[in-house]
Amino acid sequence: MSASIELDPSKRIPLVLGNHTFESVTEVISKPTETKAPKWWWIALCGAVSLLLLLVAMIGYLVFEGIGVWGLNNPVAWGFAIVNLVFWVGIGHAGTLISAILFLFRQKWRTSINRFAEAMTIFAVICALVFPAIHVGRIWVAYFMFPVPNQMVMWPNFRSPLLWDLFAFSTYFTVSLLFWYVGLVPDLATLRDRSKTKARKIAYGIFALGWRGANRHWQNYEKAYMILAALAAPLVLSVHSIVSFDFAVSQLPGWHTTIFPPYFVAGAVFSGFAMVVSLMVIAREMFGLKELVTMHHLECMNKVILVTGTMVGYAYGMEFFMAWYSGYEYESFAFINRAFGPYAWAYWIMISCNVISPQLFWFKKLRTSIPIMFVISIFVNIGMWFERFVITVTLSRDFLPSSWGYYSPTWVDICTLIGSFGLFFTLFLLFLRFLPMVSMAEVKGVMPEANPHHGEKH
Amino acid sequence: MSKDTSVARHNIKLTGFLAITLPKISLAVGIVFLVLGLFVSRNNLHHFSYSYLTSFIFYLVCSLGALFFVIIQHLTRAGWSVLLRRVAEVLMSNLWVLAIMFIPVLFALPHLYHWTLAEAAQDHILKGKSGYLNIPFFVIRSVIFFAAWLLISRLFFKKSVDQDLSGDHSITLSLQKAATWAVAVFAITQTFAYVDWVMSLTPHWYSTVFGVYFFAVSAVASLSMLSLILMILRRFGFLKDLVNVEHFHDLGKFLYGFNIFWTYIAFSQYFLIWYSNIPEETAFFHQHFAGSWNTTAILLTIGHFVIPFITFMSRHARRNLKFHCGMVIWMLVMTYLDIFWVIMPNVLPSGFHLGFSDIASFLGLGGIFVWAFFTKLKSVNLIPVQDPRLHESINFHNT
């Protein structure tokens, strides 16, 4: 089918395949929430929860024992905590881009994947927030980050980008959650109306906010959705820009460079889309969603990965060029040190995963191959984690050669990172089980049946 | 099919004043002002080179932005913009004029770029950069940039015009393919072009985001220019029933978005340099905040960002064509001011001053630019009449 349609530019590729009707779409999407959970789900949940417990244990140990259990040292004062923070926040960016920017750009293919990606945004931000919270050391005074009045006549330092992070993240989290929830309301009402038990009806009923699908409801809904999209669009840029400020406002070679804000944003979208592809490839297989999340959707996502990956490559290149062009010897040294110093292995993992591997998506054959896109998306996730690792730990050779050393994470660092995946996947598996993972209302809107003139003869 | 025949009934060939009289007048204006400017500034060619470069960069960003617009429409298989694409294609085709306009810049190298002077050899930092900043390599790079742009713009222009006759759908497919590598080539060439031609005016200074900054400038300028040209065409009775308020609304959104992007990049660049306070980098802003340049920068913040951000936010403002027209002219003025602010402090260290050489360069190059634009536009249809997605653009509505 698709070959002939793709060769006719006057037609658009259908976004829902098969002989789906509105009813069958509702069936397919509601099914995972209404039938007994499959065995693999239970197994996966057990795995995820055990990792989550690992995270909790590690945090408990950290709070009890102190930050010394991590591998931090003097030039590398941030270590894994910031690497994981930036990594997780980045993962969330696909959701915001899909829900806000692609909505404003009228990219209709977003409808099959936006719910999924937005859920990831929220869970990823939760994972991210764990790290700065536990890195403060004395976690019981973390409330000090808020400008609360106190008897010590002290105010938070508003000139610290870490404080801006607090505001950026909380705004981002709030808007993303609202966006996700507003989109969910009509679907929750569908689940409520389909529920066969009283408890289920009440549970979904509360969150459906009395949605009846009336004309007036839809009108308000569309308006709210548009406004939230407009609010969320700058957030796509702002959050990761402010994360990049954490590094870039410093005077450190390799950290202080003006391209950081847009470069971090591109990288975040890049890693976020990679995560969506990794998980979507599995989910559409497991839940029989192949006709809703088609190869066309996956291909579009892979194209976004190619574009953003190349942007990241551009930023690496510009950094390197300017490090030389600046004639600033410390800057040049920082980059030579990255590429050929003690962390060269991490640097080249980053380059090969982030810049080279997505280039395979230039070929249609490769970007429409499920195994290849899965492998590349995993590579991208690894590469993007290493990008932040490289940025953070190459500080181990700073201005003062006497303090030069080698940063190595401890077992606590590594277990905390692994544990954060437990938190993410626990939340994600619960989402798959209890909420519609594809937006029913929006997918129906892009089906031919939604056209008021559908079925009319000309 | 019925749509395609109805397009033929519309006025899709440029005739009358815009096709015949305007090009003649503007060519005359262009030549007169260039000669006049050169004559008046004959004792101060140093200053004139900077004025010339400012105007050159202004028209360059318009055409390069249009090149990006055309590529991106193909890359994203956009439907709404098909009616607007031909005007953008002609705008990008003006790159050949810009290539010719660049030749005088090569003769003014010692005036503009002090790294070309003999004393640069004594400068420790410039000596380190001489592997990149040397005249032969600079010229080679400039030739490569223009060659790449001319190649891309000719390809996209020619194939699109060919489709007007043949209606061959495979042309659309091949341009969609070409758009992929074209956008990559565009990104790299335009970055280094601005690094070479603008950033190296202050050769000690560097900023990794500079290429992105000028990309944002060019997007804003070209979208404003595109909107303005379409309004002028409509004013003279062309495309009146085809390009309607829906298209302007979308162009307005695009412009609004890119203007915020410009602000974002400009702010990031300034803010990171301000915060870190490293003398190597702050030197640039020191120079650009001297005297009344400081006022200029504040005016830019207000005029380029605050005013459009507030007034152009509303759907009603974007759909009010009179207001829209005023806004795009305003944005073009702001773009000029922005480029002026980046380039001119190098020759006017004490403060803002708009002299005759600036006006003469602007009108001189502008006259030739306008002449080339309308001469080309007259030779083709005003819209891609056989584009397979034309019906989408004609029936386009904002929801």
A258–B77: do the CB atoms touch at under 8 Å? no
Where does the pLDDT of residue A435 fall: very low under 50, low under 70, confident under 90, or very high at 90 and above? very high
B3 interface with A at CB cutoff 8 Å: no
Q: Which domain holds residue B321?
A: 2-391
Residue-wise pLDDT tens digits, B59-93: 999 999 999 999 999 999 998 999 999 999 999 99
Residues B248, B318 contacting (CB under 8 angstroms)? yes
B206 interface with A at CB cutoff 8 Å: yes
Which pLDDT score is estimated for B57?
96
Look at residues A430, A333, A436, A385 and name the one whose alpha carbon lies nearest to residue A86: A385
B302 interface with A at CB cutoff 8 Å: no
CA distance A179 to A439: 13
A251 to chain B, minimum CA–CA distance in Å? 5
Lowest mean pLDDT among A74-78, A158-162, A351-355, B51-55: A158-162
Closest chain A residue to B127 measured between Cα atoms?
A327
CA distance B61 to B95: 10
Tokens encoding A394: 């190459």
Among residues of chain B, what percentage have pLDDT more than 70?
97
Is B201 inside any structural domain? Answer: yes
Residue-wise pLDDT tens digits, B249-308: 999 999 999 999 999 999 999 999 999 999 889 999 999 999 999 999 999 999 999 999
* pLDDT (average), residues A165-187: 91
CA distance A379 to A274: 9
CA distance B51 to B359: 8
3-state secondary structure of B14: coil
Residue-wise pLDDT tens digits, B284-301: 999 999 999 999 999 999
Residues A265, A240 contacting (CB under 8 angstroms)? yes
DSSP tag of B42: T
- What is the phi/psi pair of residue B338, to 5°? -60, -50
Residues 306-345 of A with CB under 8 A from B: 310, 314-315, 318-319, 322, 325-328
Is B274 inside any structural domain? Answer: yes
Is B398 inside any structural domain? Answer: no
Where does the pLDDT of residue A151 fall: very low under 50, low under 70, confident under 90, or very high at 90 and above? confident
Q: Where are the alpha helices (DSSP H) in chain B?
A: 2-9, 21-40, 45-75, 82-93, 95-107, 109-112, 124-129, 135-166, 169-197, 210-235, 245-276, 279-288, 293-300, 307-311, 315-319, 321-343, 356-378, 390-394
Amino acid at site B125: I
The total of other beta-carbon atoms located within 10 Å of residue B306's CB is 11
Is B343 inside any structural domain? Answer: yes
Write out the DSSP string of B159-203: HHHHHHHH--HHHHHHHHHHHHHHHHHHHHHHHHHHHHHTGGGST
Residue-wise pLDDT tens digits, A235-244: 888 899 999 9
Residues A391, A254 contacting (CB under 8 angstroms)? yes
Is B397 inside any structural domain? Answer: no
A262–B265: do the CB atoms touch at under 8 Å? yes
**How far from each other are the two terminal CA atoms of chain A, in whole angstroms?**
24
DSSP tag of B13: B
Look at residues A192, A193, A121, A437 and name the one whose alpha carbon lies nearest to residue A292: A437
DSSP tag of A18: S
The predicted complex's ipTM stands at: 0.92
Residues 30-49 of A with CB under 8 A from B: none
Is B25 inside any structural domain? Answer: yes
Residue-wise pLDDT tens digits, A229-282: 888 888 888 899 999 999 999 888 889 999 999 999 999 999 999 999 999 999
CA distance B369 to B236: 20
Question: Which of A10, A106, A262 shows the shortest C-beta gap to B388?
Answer: A10
Look at residues A255, A231, A229 and name the one whose alpha carbon lies nearest to residue A86: A255
CA distance A304 to B76: 11
Number of domains in chain B: 1
Residue B376 pLDDT greater than 90, yes or no: yes
CA distance B333 to B108: 26
Q: Give the number of beta-carbon pairs within 8 Å between A and B.
A: 87
Residues in chain B: 399
Q: What does each C-alpha distance from B171 to A12, A425, B75, B182, B278 come to in angstroms?
A: 17, 46, 13, 16, 52
Residue-wise pLDDT tens digits, A309-336: 999 999 999 999 999 999 888 889 999 9
Where does the pLDDT of residue B342 fall: very low under 50, low under 70, confident under 90, or very high at 90 and above? very high
Residues A252, A333 contacting (CB under 8 angstroms)? no
Residues in chain A with CB shorter than 8 Å from the CB of B275 are 249
Tokens encoding B275: 């915060």
Residues in chain B with CB shorter than 8 Å from the CB of A257 are 208, 272
B264 interface with A at CB cutoff 8 Å: yes
Lowest mean pLDDT among A355-359, A381-385, B117-121: B117-121
A363 interface with B at CB cutoff 8 Å: no
Residues B47, B360 contacting (CB under 8 angstroms)? no
For chain A, what is the mean pLDDT?
89
Residue labelled with tokens 């010692």: B110
Look at residues B98, B4, B15 and name the one whose alpha carbon lies nearest to residue B379: B15
Is B396 inside any structural domain? Answer: no
The total of other beta-carbon atoms located within 10 Å of residue B136's CB is 7
Look at residues B85, B16, B371, B374 and name the one whose alpha carbon lies nearest to residue B226: B85
Q: What angle do CA A224, A226, A227 make, to 5 degrees?
A: 65
3-state secondary structure of B52: helix
B187 interface with A at CB cutoff 8 Å: yes
Q: What does each C-alpha distance from A110 to A11, A86, A101, A247 come to in angstroms?
A: 18, 25, 10, 33
Look at residues B223, B193, B208, B244 and name the one whose alpha carbon lies nearest to residue B383: B244
